[in-house]
Every structure is written in structure tokens, then in C-alpha cells.
Copies of this chain bind each other. A is one copy, B any other.
Amino acid sequence: MGGMTSSSAKDLLENGLKLTPRYDAAGLIAAVATHAETGEVLMLAWMNAEALDKTMSTGEAHYFSRSRNELWHKGATSGQVQVVEELRIDCDQDAVWLKVLPQGDGGACHTGQRSCFYRVIEGGKLVKRP
């Protein structure tokens, strides 16, 4: 949508109560999932309009897989379904925040880690730390 939004359009976007997601050129918005109980950031993924709709209508997180180029019902194969406790959108409506309860083994990452963010950056190197 670029930077030419008029001030009234900007006001509606930021203060309005209408859901008007601003998808990027690829039709996506960023989605960050945190654990509803611990607050830990579990993963950062992407949603297209269909994924957001499915997330809202089912109460389970749906994303858009950029690598597979398809709708992704998180947990459909892994069992790590994410029950959505709360769904928020940011000021300029190009990112959402999901508070989720991971089902199955309680994890979110395909590597087997609980969170995808299992490495800390320290001194320019990575350190694995829960």
C-alpha cells in the first residue's frame, strides 16, 4: 500500500475497528505465535487472506507455507495444532500476534525444539539455549 496513505485513511487504519489487513505484494502478512501461558515466542510465519480467515473461523492457527506455496494447517501432520486463545493485529495492520496453546507434544518447531528460537546470538555466534 506504500507510504502515500492519506491522513484520514491512516487514522482509520490505526484507530478504526474494521479489520483491513494490509497484505504485501505476495499477498502475505507476518504472524508471530507466542505460547498463551508462558509468553515464549514460538515461531514467526506468514498468513494470506485464506489462512487468516481459516484461523478466525476454526480457532486453530493456519499459515501460508512459502516453501510449499500452500495453505498450512499447523499441526495437521505433526499433531502440533495451535489452539488460538487470542488474535491481535498491529497498528498498520500488516502483522498479527497469536497467543496459542500448542497441542500434541507441546512444541512448535519442525526441528523438535519447543520454540523455533532455540539459539541466542552472542558475540556474533549462536548458542543453543532453551
B residues near A41, Cβ cutoff 8 Å: 32, 34, 41, 88, 97
A11 → B minimal CB distance (Å): 10
Q: Which of B30, B110, B121 contacts A87 (CB 8 A)?
A: B121
Q: How far is the CA of A32 from the CA of B92 in the complex (A)?
A: 15
The count of chain A contact residues (Cβ–Cβ below 8 Å) is: 45
A124 → B minimal CB distance (Å): 6
Interface residues in A77-96 by Cβ distance below 8 A to B read 86-92, 95-96
Q: How far is the CA of A39 from the CA of B68 in the complex (A)?
A: 31
Q: Which has the most chain B C-beta neighbours within 10 Å: A3, A41, A96, A113?
A: A41
A96 near B125 with CB under 8 A, answer no
Indicate if A6 sits at the interface (CB-CB under 8 A). no
A32 near B44 with CB under 8 A, answer yes
> Are A89 and B121 CB-contacts (below 8 A) given A14-B111, A32-B32?
yes
Closest 6 CB pairs of A and B: A39-B39, A44-B95, A90-B116, A88-B117, A17-B126, A87-B121
